Chain A
Amino acid sequence: MNDIQNPAASAAIQGRSPWRAAWDSLRLMMQDSFAVAGVAILILFVVTALAAPLLAPFDPFKAMMTETGRLARLRPPSGEYLLGTTAFGNDVLSQFLHGFRVALLVGLVAAVAVGFISTVFGVLAGYFGGWIDDVLMRITDVALSIPTLPFSIVAVALLGPSIENIILVITILFWRNGARIIRSAVLTERERVYVKWARAAGASHFHIIMRHILPNIVRVIFLWVTMSVAFAILTEASLSFLGLGDPTVISWGQMLNTAFSSGNLRTAWWWVVPPSLALVMLVSALYLIGRAYEEQTNPRLRRR
């Protein structure tokens, strides 16, 4: 590659840094006002999750007692318990704050795991084609026929309800769509003229993938990662709501499950509203960010 003298040709073969492309895509996303609102909510939630142990006034599992030594059940919000108490005398605010940690932990791990697996499989299958592609497509054909929530219900019930197993099941479920989407994005990039040029000039496969393919599909990856974080949080919340959550941690889905199964939905609004609202805000924020990436990946949707 060193004997290329023409600077333009050399630049074309050099390609772009994938990091630079990711940064550009991020900046473009931040020009969308809905996405900015989503990012703001996300930051607020991350900060709350990190500070949760400091902010929470009580141990979320501890049953509160009154002065007379009885359980402080279903207390409405007051100066003592800012968001009231549950039917089992737990402080709602403390449980609610700890719920931030579970939701964001599930989201973060799913983003990394699903994002990484989808990208590796999608790029390998799309770029090299051949048997890798065949195997991937057959696997995803089957995987797409698995009903997601029923699969998670059965798998978590059989493996045992723990946060690790829930994350494992979510990763098994959601890499498949991502890999397929990224594969088709790679397929179009692979046929571009500059990829052929670079190849003809003797660039290695690794170089082409890193500097020609990845920079151009980074938007697709971001879109998919954002969506899988939302799906992961929703799946964990649904499983917990169905009573299959990790009993050793407190999540919003679990709070709603306890309120629902103890028959206090109607009266104990202070117990039901905070986790519901937080879930809606978090997932909507992610969808708002995802929508901005969607417009990036489909230029026909952009305003002219």
Chain B
Amino acid sequence: MRAYILRRLAQSVLVVWAVTSIMFFMFRVMPADPTAMLLERGLTEEARQALLQEWGLTGTLWDQYVAYLGNILTGDFGSSFLYRKPVWEVLTPLIINTLWIAVPGLLLGAALGAVIGTAVGWAERGGKLERSGIFLATVIRGVPNFVIGIALLTIFSSTLSWFPGFGMGDPGATTGFARYMTLDFLHHLALPLIAVIIYFMPENLLLMRSGVVENRTEDYIELIRAKGVPQRRVAWHAARNSMLPLITWLFPALAETIAGIVVIEIVFSWPGVGRELVLAVTRQDYPVAQAAFFLLAVMIVLANLAADLVYGKLDPRVVYK
């Protein structure tokens, strides 16, 4: 077990290194003027040279690569061109904002999907409930997340005026950590959160349904049924065994959520990492774009690692090698 954890950790470090190298390629080699990503236009030649030196942008590509790795692995992503402060100061509060819609959205979406998925999986094969459940879930899964966002925004914000559709709080609202505890914040949180839930529920539902369908014909279910246990409880037995694939799926999904809610953050002007990434790219604020991308990639690596470890704990059949 310990050897397995160590091996997975080493593997994760390797993956982070590889992602960093891909980033070097993307941000340094791919653009026509690689220095553009770290140096603002319109600097004097002297200031430019000094900064080039400082950033390790001189010398061969190999020297640059080594300097680049050094900077990133020490967490030094430079300063934002726009905000004129270190990248981390810009991004840290945004990470929390993103997690605020990502984590509850995913958990609620998964829970809701699991419950409905069990009902659909347990329903009569070929019956009305099964067919309409599958059809609706498949169609909703096909709705792009910005269309979900636009629909929610138009209906509940513009037309009915039930919820605000912009940002995280009204102007002049409390700042700092206290702001997360206000009703105003929750009011603003509602729509983006619902959008994430709708976006993630169908896939959970279908996964859960497949699991329950596979399990319902197993002998152990037959045995429980034969004991005279009520239907609902029998379904629960099948559901419990179908949750394993759901849980393995949940962690990578969290990572993909964080990436995928970029679009939802944009629609609702929610100040998260994803929205900042898009804004940074369009403003050519490359240090911020690079750090945001790195952050999202590391989150995926960690989520995958967590999924592998948790899966082994939950399923005794998994043997660590």
Which residues of A pack against B, CB within 8 Å?
Answer: 34, 141-142, 144-151, 153-155, 157-159, 230, 234, 237-238, 241-244, 253, 256, 260, 265-266, 269, 272, 276, 279-280, 282-288, 291, 298, 300-301, 303-304
B78 contacts A by Cβ under 8 Å: no
Are the C-beta atoms of A159 and B30 separated by less than 8 Å?
A: yes
* B30 contacts across to A, CB distance below 8 A: 155, 158-159
Also in contact, A265 and B154, with CB within 8 A (given A158-B26, A159-B30, A301-B214) = yes
Which residues of B pack against A, CB within 8 Å?
Answer: 11, 15-16, 18-19, 22, 26-27, 30-31, 125-126, 134-135, 138-139, 141-147, 150-151, 153-154, 158-159, 206, 210, 213-214, 217, 252, 255-256, 258-260, 262-263, 266-267, 274, 277-278, 281-282, 289, 292-293, 296-297, 299-301, 304
Also in contact, A283 and B144, with CB within 8 A (given A243-B282, A301-B210) = yes
* A265 contacts across to B, CB distance below 8 A: 150, 153-154, 158
Given A147, A283, A286, which contacts B258 in the complex, CB threshold below 8 Å?
A147
Say whether chain A's binding surface is mostly helix, strand, loop, or mixed: helix
Are the C-beta atoms of B256 and A148 separated by less than 8 Å?
A: yes
Q: How far is the CA of A147 from the CA of B159 in the complex (A)?
A: 35
Chain B CB within 10 A, most for which of A155, A157, A256: A157
Given A141, A154, A241, which contacts B293 in the complex, CB threshold below 8 Å?
A154
Are the C-beta atoms of B144 and A284 separated by less than 8 Å?
A: no
Also in contact, A145 and B213, with CB within 8 A (given A242-B278, A265-B154) = no
* B256 contacts across to A, CB distance below 8 A: 147-148
Please give the distance in Å from B312's CB to the nearest CB on chain A: 18
Are the C-beta atoms of A153 and B278 separated by less than 8 Å?
A: yes
Are the C-beta atoms of A157 and B15 separated by less than 8 Å?
A: no
Also in contact, A154 and B158, with CB within 8 A (given A287-B141, A303-B126) = no
Are the C-beta atoms of A256 and B139 separated by less than 8 Å?
A: no
Also in contact, A291 and B134, with CB within 8 A (given A153-B277, A265-B153) = yes
Are the C-beta atoms of B26 and A150 separated by less than 8 Å?
A: no
Other A-B contacts than A142-B19, A237-B146, A298-B210, 5 sampled, CB-CB below 8 A, are A146-B19, A147-B296, A149-B259, A155-B30, A269-B154
Are the C-beta atoms of B259 and A154 separated by less than 8 Å?
A: no
Q: How far is the CA of A109 from the CA of B281 in the complex (A)?
A: 26
